[in-house]
Amino acid sequence: MSSCRKKHCYCCSNCTSNSCYCTTSRPSGSSVLPAFGSLRKESGQVIDVDETKVDYDFVGPSANVTLSIVNDTITINESGVYEISMSLTLGINPTDLARGFLFVNDVPLHFSAVSLTVTSNTLALATVSKTIQLELLANDVIDVRIHKVGDSVIVGSSSLTINRIGQ
């Protein structure tokens, strides 16, 4: 970290960037190799088909994971226990249902579901979120998909964040 200007940069002996996020080794005193990343959405997305992926617009800082806004996925590079948080702003019509699920390797984790239901005659717009802890292996791929019952679902500002918390 000799010339790096960021306190969290542990690997860049020649880094002079103010935006260095190259954490690939353990900080002193830590037994867990850092691995983290995030995707976020700021534009609206209309979902008409079940199990459509949330389409993310931006990547956040990351280390030891691969972020893709082309595939709307996070790929795990280091096996371990991860804390995964998803937050979805959903808009639905009266009497409709929308659920967001975390998928790992194209398989839905049903216990990860967040949902919005409208039983009145008004449109609903709400942010729903959930955080889970999960053991993941290197090369596992995670994404968020929407299940809907009824008309289209509007997905607004949303995020998917992952942080390795154990080995």
Task: Evaluate whether 138 touches 78 at the Cβ level (below 8 Å).
Answer: yes
**2 pLDDT higher than 90:** no
Amino acid at 24: T
Q: Break the chain down into helix, strand, coil percent, rounded to 5.
A: 0, 55, 45
Q: Kindly report the pTM of this predicted structure.
A: 0.80
Give the domain 36-166 fold: Jelly Rolls (2.60.120)
Please report how many Cα atoms fall inside a 13 Å half-sphere around the Cα of residue 100, on the Cβ side.
30
Annotated domain spans of the chain: 1-28, 36-166
For the chain, what percent of residues have pLDDT higher than 90?
A: 69
Query: Which tens digit of pLDDT belongs to each residue from 126-166?
Result: 999 999 999 999 999 999 999 998 889 999 999 999 999 99
Q: How many angstroms separate the Cα of 98 from the Cα of each of 80, 127, 131, 149, 156?
A: 31, 12, 18, 6, 13
Task: Evaluate whether 136 touches 68 at the Cβ level (below 8 Å).
Answer: no
pLDDT for residue 155: 96
Q: Which residues contact 122 (CB under 8 A, 6 or more apart)?
A: 94
Task: Evaluate whether 111 touches 22 at the Cβ level (below 8 Å).
Answer: no
